Amino acid sequence: MVKKWRQSSRHVPALAAALMMLFVAQGHGQTVLSVRSGIGTIVTMSRAAGEAQLMALSRVATSEDAWLFTGGSWIDIGYDEEKTEVLLDLALVTAAVREQDPREPLAFYHLHPFHTDARIIEPPTLQDIQALQLLKEWSSARMIGVIFDGRGKWTFDITGKAQAAVAPGRPALDYGASHGYGGRLDSAFLFRATYPLLAWEENSGADGRNDRVRRFIESAGKLGVIVSYTEALQ
């Protein structure tokens, strides 16, 4: 099943900063990343160690969750965790970014729980792409997206063409007849209509997993979404 992603902002920045300091204190001594209810603790851990834990967690988790990795810290930014979706606390992300070196690239991590059929691919969904774009805009920071699906690691980013198509508030239809568009479907509508079909088409075919992954990456690239996939060592 295609995963869904919703975005929300619960806290004003000042309150989010105070909450972040509280979570740092609560997270002292924590060494394990797990799916927690609500925006959770901040765990100090290397990127490699955290990714290894998320890979293992994606094999057993029954709900999605999300983290921001920055400056050696893993910050739980997801709440209302469900089997196929999670909400983001954008203000907490903004508060966290303020404390970091602006030259440092950030990473947005997300789980797609394990699918028992090995042929089914679980790449970044349209909602995941939109979430990454939204996080970039709110934080004004360089950022990549990473998803663990129980079998491997998806890494994704957005080029200018896709950024314009998924920008928040971009209308689905362009009625600018006075500008010569004649009310035809614009690039944002076409992207939002086309991108979700990529994984569906691959998962509807008879080919094996590797071919599905390869074709999805090629098709996403044509739409301006740069995707790579690394199969986990079994």
What's the rounded mean pLDDT across residues 82-100? 71
| 3-class state of residue 27 by DSSP | coil
pLDDT of residue 135: 82
Domain boundaries, the chain: 6-231
**Has this prediction a pTM greater than 0.85?**
no
The rounded percent of the chain whose pLDDT value lies above 70 is 68
Tell me the residue ranges of DSSP E strands in 90-217: 106-111, 143-148, 152-158
- For 152-200, write each residue's pLDDT tens digit: 999 999 987 787 777 655 544 443 433 444 444 566 777 888 888 999 9
Cβ-based neighbours of 227, under 8 Å, separated by 6 or more: 123, 124, 154, 155, 156, 216, 217, 220, 221
Write the CA distances from 45 to 51, 52, 59, integer angstroms. 10, 11, 20
